[in-house]
Amino acid sequence: MLIIMRQGATEKDIEKVKIFIEKKGFDAHISIGEVHTVIGAVGGRVIDPRDIELIEGVKEVIKITSSYKLVSRVFQPEDTIISVKGVKFGGSNIGMIAGPCAVESYEQMDKTAQALHKSGVRVLRGGAFKPRSSPYAFQGMGEEGLEIMRAVADKYKMAVTSEVMEISQIPLFEKYVDILQVGARNMQNFNLLKELGNVRKPVMIKRGLSATFEEWLMSAEYIMAGGNREVMLCERGIRTFERVTRNTLDLSAIPVIKKVSHLPILIDPSHGTGLRDKVIPMSRAAVAAGCDGLIIEVHHDPDSAQCDGAQSLYPEQYDKLYHSIKKIAPIVDKRVL
């Protein structure tokens, strides 16, 4: 249920509504907008909306039939803008994230970050715990990987993002990482999502391999319902019958999500296509379609990468990509950070 307050409703009015719904067992999530304040009532028992409509300052009560509430544009009409060390995702901003698939060594991270730093990258990616299809494939360096990434990022004054695979790893991520990534395979790990609701750092949730938009948004709802407002979505390609590309990058996610949700939507053309030569064209298309950020796999020496070398750009290719999307962004009233 969403409670829209009148323009000019006082803090006292809002507090009264909050107390009323909390007494009925609801959690109150307040969104202060430019014109109206909206209170999302989540959980709780069946309630007669007229009881709330009678409270001073209430404009209307909307019963939500769609299963997601807090991620919805009805709850918050304005775009959510997430700021990480000065890099913004959402609104008119396109935030850039780049780095290798996995942290492999200090030297590899340092060489890659040094090149990316020159191209203006301020958020570094790199997996320390890797969800691999084969148990015999490189599984990531674990905590040591996070340590390396943090040290390298600090050297170049960058923020870092990395994938958290299970609840027990969260404290480590709170220590080393600025944006916690939920991988495609964990999109519906509801226990993990609930715990991430208690974290006070941004979470980027990737779309599951065969997840519908509704399922994806519901997963984001889990994190928001736990109290974490800083959630961003990342389309990384879905499983279709096509085999030429690793996945089918569904760029329609951008207008679809933008219409129903206020959360930033990022595109990962690296996993979305699986092929290096497709990454620049699909990044350009994503920017033209209005994405709020890109996450790109880049390796200083992709031919020697432990994983996803074929979809990793050479640093000079990233530089070319960056300069080309910088030109496209203003056409759709955006700027690249």
Angle between helix axes 315-328 and 106-118 (nearest 10 degrees) is: 30
- Residue 134 DSSP code: S
75: tokens are 């709850």
Task: Give least dist CB 185 to ligand PEP, A.
Answer: 6
CA angle 301, 307, 312 (to 5 degrees): 50
Provide the mask over 91-120, with x wherever binding to Mn ion is found by CB under 5 A and - wherever it is not: ----------x-------------------
Instruction: Mark the segment that binds Mn ion (CB under 5 A) among 42-50, 219-227, 244-252, 304-312.
Output: 304-312
Helix spans in 27-74 (H)? 49-53
Going by C-alpha positions, the residue among 142, 153, 58, 55 that lies closest to residue 97 is 153
Provide the mask over 59-78, with x wherever binding to Mn ion is found by CB under 5 A and - wherever it is not: --------------------
298: tokens are 């880049």
Task: Give least dist CB 163 to ligand PEP, A.
Answer: 6
| H/E segment holding residue 326 | helix 315-328
Cα–Cα distance list, 56 to 22, 52, 60, 334 (Å): 17, 9, 11, 40
Q: Quote the CA–CA distance of 213 and 216 in Å, as a whole number.
A: 5
Of 57 and 145, the one with the shorter C-beta distance to ligand PEP is 145
Q: Which does 131 bind (CB under 5 to 8 A by kind): ligand PEP, Mn ion, none?
A: ligand PEP
Radius of gyration of the chain (CA): 21
Q: Quote the CA–CA distance of 57 and 8 in Å, as a whole number.
A: 8
Q: Which does 236 bind (CB under 5 to 8 A by kind): Mn ion, ligand PEP, none?
A: ligand PEP
Q: Which does 202 bind (CB under 5 to 8 A by kind): Mn ion, ligand PEP, none?
A: none
Interface ranges with ligand PEP (CB under 6 A): 101, 127, 131, 163, 183-185, 206, 236, 271
Of 29 and 300, the one with the shorter C-beta distance to Mn ion is 300
Contacts of 135 by beta carbon, 8 Å cutoff, 6+ apart: none
For residues 59 and 77, the answer to whether their CB atoms sit within 8 Å is no
Task: Give least dist CB 131 to ligand PEP, A.
Answer: 6
151: tokens are 């040290």
Considering only 204, 308, 315, 337, the residue that binds Mn ion (CB under 5 A) is 308
Of 271 and 334, the one with the shorter C-beta distance to ligand PEP is 271
| H/E segment holding residue 15 | helix 11-23
Of 267 and 325, the one with the shorter C-beta distance to ligand PEP is 267
Of 70 and 267, the one with the shorter C-beta distance to ligand PEP is 267
Task: Give least dist CB 291 to Mn ion, A.
Answer: 19
Q: Which does 281 bind (CB under 5 to 8 A by kind): ligand PEP, Mn ion, none?
A: none
Task: Give least dist CB 271 to Mn ion, A.
Answer: 6
Residues lying near Mn ion in the complex (CB under 5 A): 101, 308
